[in-house]
């Protein structure tokens, strides 16, 4: 019989499985049982809509047996089974979990402790076996097939016999090595221990033949109560963590676990997790939000996106509700009232838990916000403020108060006097923002300023408009109100000079200022669009022509001021025009924008240097 080759990626994973010895290789059994349970789920789910199938839930079973002398372990199920094509496609190609692992291996380029970090699927059998065979008959076929493989060389598929649908997986356990006893798996107590440890919550009975009073008796090994149905006090944190890591392919423990049992208008159990970090695909288009949805322990869909709003899309977990009809089709889930009210209830639960985390475990919350805060901001911004009330208390920004993250409520508490404003400055780094003259001035006066360094920050704040009764005020806009009479008069008296400069650089205005500390010049914007928003918009495609209305400020306490006035008084307008351009470009740079015409600027400056 002709051997077929595995796909390249599959081969590499297989190689890793075969050639490495892992500390907890025992999880091979968990993987096989979990596949069997999926196959039973699929069959049961099908039977609910396909009336020709007469399937009773209590008949669906998984059986684990072993033969010590022949060195065999078998895991069988009477689930949906596989056709010849499915055997080929499912077992000849690397499965999702495997490719996930493969990516990780590549990124880090180092041996990682695979097991316990990832579900590695069917291929993990090769950690303990030198030959694996899969006998299977699909519910859609009366023919059975046998898939066999001794590892990387490839696999064969041949015709076989089987009375009914299901799958029997047989592992030929490796011979013992001097320092590695594979025989330990050919032992009743050990197998039972492994099943209890990893597969206790599987909702179908996992049977083993056991000797009781010298007679062989079939017994159920698992308790069949899913972990989310168990009482919180009966489950160790470690068990929740392991469940999370296995199920959602994370190698870190979750940051926070939410266990919720709700009875009332809707009844459901939820076990939710807030991951400790965003997965590599989280901020990509491929990421799909959603929770697993069960009805009385039977899986309805493994990604019900309607249960989670976009701004909480980082949450993973399980919802189990007897109110959801098992027969519900995936298409009608969206319109289902129960699903909607569970979603609402979950949304407020998640918010409540996050606020509690903020209160009780500040560090964890900050970690969470750094990872997932953008989703929350986007939730406010993209809904044009509709979700403001719901989400505003979850926001954090870095503040000039101790340079730490703060919530808006905390800012409010620290406001002195009857100032009804929240000041902010937007820019690419805190250091740059702190050096802005307008910001320095506010901080010197004891006013707290929020540093908005994330590109979504200012949009979020503009969308919100206010936090409770407090108005958001851009620090750069603030100073205009404070122009002294003296400066006003100076600007009036020098109108001609200032207009000449303004027309030369082509902006909204040029003004003198006594508020710039040591900076020769600065820029402010007048109007809705701030300098920072201009930067963000300019970075987007097709954003030609977006410009903030800029006003150039010139420091009257800086020597450049005197120079400009004297050039003007002496009628040296060519020089004045050149200097205006240089000063404007310096101001652009100070404010983190790029110069408009680098060639012209270079020519002017080089000209000045040559004449020096």
| Interface residues toward ligand ADP, by CB under 6 A | 31, 35-36, 39, 77, 79-82, 90-91, 95-97, 119, 121-123, 167
Q: Which residues contact 211 (CB under 8 A, 6 or more apart)?
A: 217
CB of 14 to ligand ADP, least distance (A): 11
Nearer to ligand ADP, 121 or 379 (CB): 121
CB of 308 to ligand ADP, least distance (A): 23
Contact 78, 55 (CB under 8 A): no
CB of 43 to ligand ADP, least distance (A): 9
Nearer to ligand ADP, 245 or 377 (CB): 245
Nearer to ligand ADP, 97 or 513 (CB): 97
Nearer to ligand ADP, 14 or 590 (CB): 14
Nearer to ligand ADP, 73 or 587 (CB): 73
Q: Which two tokens stand for residue 262?
A: 């709700």
Contact 28, 130 (CB under 8 A): no
Q: In this structure, is the dihedral angle defined by the CA atoms of residues 423, 425, 429 and 435, taken in order, positive or negative? A: negative
Contact 548, 529 (CB under 8 A): yes
Per-residue b or e along 496-514, where b marks 16 or more CB atoms closer than 10 Å to that residue's CB: ebbebbbebbebebbbbbe
402: region left, alpha or beta (phi > 0 left; psi from -120 to 50 alpha): left
CA atoms of 471 and 532, how far apart (whole Å): 19
Nearer to ligand ADP, 119 or 226 (CB): 119
CB of 42 to ligand ADP, least distance (A): 7
Nearer to ligand ADP, 96 or 261 (CB): 96
Q: Which two tokens stand for residue 188?
A: 């009743």
Nearer to ligand ADP, 105 or 267 (CB): 105
CB of 409 to ligand ADP, least distance (A): 44
CB of 187 to ligand ADP, least distance (A): 23
Instruction: Report in angstroms the alpha-carbon separations of 516 from 185, 438, 485, 526, 593.
Output: 76, 7, 17, 17, 18
CA atoms of 344 and 308, how far apart (whole Å): 9
Nearer to ligand ADP, 53 or 606 (CB): 53
CB of 36 to ligand ADP, least distance (A): 5
Helix (H, G, I), strand (E, B) or coil at 250: coil
Nearer to ligand ADP, 122 or 467 (CB): 122
Sequential DSSP letters for 299-329: EEEEEEGGGS-GGGTT-EEEEE-TTS-TT--
Contacts 24+ apart (CB under 8 A), 56-61: 57/298, 60/204, 61/204, 61/205, 61/206, 61/207
Selection from 385, 431, 432, 391 nearest residue 408 by Cα: 391
Nearer to ligand ADP, 167 or 392 (CB): 167
Sequential DSSP letters for 4-59: BPPPHHHHHHHHHHHH---TTGGGHHHHHHHHHHHHHHHHHHHHHH-TT----GGG
CB of 119 to ligand ADP, least distance (A): 6
CA atoms of 241 and 405, how far apart (whole Å): 28
Write out the E strands in 263-386: 268-274, 291-295, 298-304, 316-320
Contact 273, 317 (CB under 8 A): yes
CB of 194 to ligand ADP, least distance (A): 17
CB of 87 to ligand ADP, least distance (A): 8
CB of 200 to ligand ADP, least distance (A): 19
């Amino acid at each position: 019989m002709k051997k077929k080759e595995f796909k390249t990626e599959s081969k590499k994973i297989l190689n890793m499985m075969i050639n490495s010895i892992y500390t907890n290789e025992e999880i091979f059994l968990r993987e096989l049982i979990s596949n069997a349970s999926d196959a039973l789920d699929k069959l049961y789910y099908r039977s609910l809509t396909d009336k020709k199938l007469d399937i009773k839930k209590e008949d669906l079973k998984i059986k684990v047996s072993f033969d010590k002398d022949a060195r065999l372990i078998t895991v069988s199920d009477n689930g949906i089974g596989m056709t010849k094509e499915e055997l080929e496609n499912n077992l000849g190609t690397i499965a999702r979990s495997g490719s996930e692992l493969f990516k990780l291996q590549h990124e880090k380029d180092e041996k990682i402790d695979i097991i316990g970090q990832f579900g590695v699927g069917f291929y993990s059998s090769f950690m303990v076996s030198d030959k694996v065979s899969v006998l299977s008959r699909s519910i859609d076929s009366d023919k059975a097939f046998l898939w066999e493989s001794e590892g990387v060389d490839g696999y064969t598929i041949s015709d076989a016999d089987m009375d009914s649908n299901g799958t029997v997986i047989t592992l030929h356990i490796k011979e013992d090595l001097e320092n590695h006893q594979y025989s330990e798996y050919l032992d009743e107590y050990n197998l039972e221990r492994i099943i209890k440890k990893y597969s206790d919550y599987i909702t179908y009975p996992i049977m083993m033949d056991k000797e009781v009073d010298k007679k062989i008796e079939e017994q159920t090994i698992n308790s069949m109560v899913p972990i989310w149905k168990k009482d919180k006090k009966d489950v160790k944190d470690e068990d929740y963590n392991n469940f999370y890591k296995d199920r959602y392919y994370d190698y870190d423990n979750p940051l926070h676990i939410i266990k919720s049992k709700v009875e009332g208008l809707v009844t459901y159990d939820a076990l939710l997790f807030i991951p400790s970090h965003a997965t590599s695909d989280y901020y990509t288009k491929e990421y799909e939000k959603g929770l697993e949805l069960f009805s009385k322990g039977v899986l309805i869909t493994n990604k019900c996106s309607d249960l989670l709003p976009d701004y909480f899309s980082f949450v993973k977990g399980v919802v189990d509700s007897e109110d959801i009809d098992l027969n519900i089709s995936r298409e009608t889930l969206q319109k289902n009232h129960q699903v909607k009210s569970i979603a609402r209830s979950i949304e407020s639960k998640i918010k409540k838990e996050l606020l509690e985390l903020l209160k009780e475990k500040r560090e964890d919350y900050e970690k969470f916000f750094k990872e997932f805060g953008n989703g929350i901001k986007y939730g406010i911004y993209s809904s044009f403020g509709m979700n403001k009330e719901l989400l505003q208390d979850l926001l954090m920004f870095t503040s000039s108060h101790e340079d730490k993250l703060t919530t808006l409520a905390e800012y409010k508490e620290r406001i002195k006097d009857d100032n009804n404003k929240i000041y902010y400055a937007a820019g690419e780094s805190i250091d740059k923002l702190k050096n802005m003259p307008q910001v320095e001035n506010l901080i010197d006066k004891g006013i707290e300023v929020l540093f908005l360094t994330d590109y979504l920050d200012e949009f979020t704040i503009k969308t919100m408009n206010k936090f409770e009764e407090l108005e958001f005020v851009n620090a750069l806009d603030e100073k205009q109100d404070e122009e002294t009479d003296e400066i006003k008069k100076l600007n009036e008296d020098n109108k001609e000079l200032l207009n000449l400069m303004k027309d030369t650089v082509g902006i909204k205005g040029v003004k003198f200022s006594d508020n710039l500390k040591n900076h020769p010049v600065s820029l402010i914007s007048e109007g809705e669009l701030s300098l920072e928003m201009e930067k963000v918009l300019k970075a987007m495609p097709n954003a030609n022509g977006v410009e903030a209305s800029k006003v150039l400020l010139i420091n009257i306490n800086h020597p450049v001021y005197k120079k400009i006035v004297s050039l003007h008084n002496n009628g040296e307008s060519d020089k004045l025009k050149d200097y205006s351009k240089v000063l404007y470009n310096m101001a652009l740079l100070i404010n983190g924008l790029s110069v408009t015409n680098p060639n012209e600027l270079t020519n002017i400056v080089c000209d000045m240097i040559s004449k020096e």
